[in-house]
Amino acid sequence: MKKTLFFILFILLSISVYYDLTEGILAGPGEDNSSSSDIIDDRRAVEVTVESGQTLVSITKKLHDGSLPAPVDKITRDFKELNEGVPPDLIQVDSPYRFPLYTPKQDSSF
């Protein structure tokens, strides 16, 4: 009985590892990490003065009704581009920064 249970657990673990390595939940190198349903609007950004405890992710979620509109690495790149290369981990409290605004892609296949 124990051998059968361990065999089943081994098979499940093997399937899980195989799926993570082949499909995964994160994009691998060379894959497009941009969201398929959202894009950044050209030059659309909003200036926000950072308060204590806020981060790039928390502010972006607040600007987009509680959800992340794009992958974190894309939001980070866009933030750096809008703020002259300032990395988000060096933002200062009570300082204004520009945060990218994203809108859903319009489905034009009617």
Output the pTM of the full model. 0.57
Number of domains forming the structure of the chain: 1
Is 75 a member of any domain?
A: yes
Is 28 a member of any domain?
A: no
Question: What is the rounded distance in angstroms from the CA atom of residue 65 to the CA atom of residue 62?
Answer: 5
CATH of the domain at 74: 3.10.350
Q: Write out the residue range of the structural domain in which residue 56 sits.
A: 39-104
Q: What sign does the CA torsion over 95, 78, 47, 101 have?
A: negative
Is 62 a member of any domain?
A: yes
Is 74 a member of any domain?
A: yes
Over residues 11-65, the pLDDT tens digits come to: 999 988 877 777 665 544 444 444 333 444 455 889 999 999 999 999 999 998 8
Q: What sign does the CA torsion over 78, 79, 81, 85 have?
A: negative
Token couple for 22: 């082949």
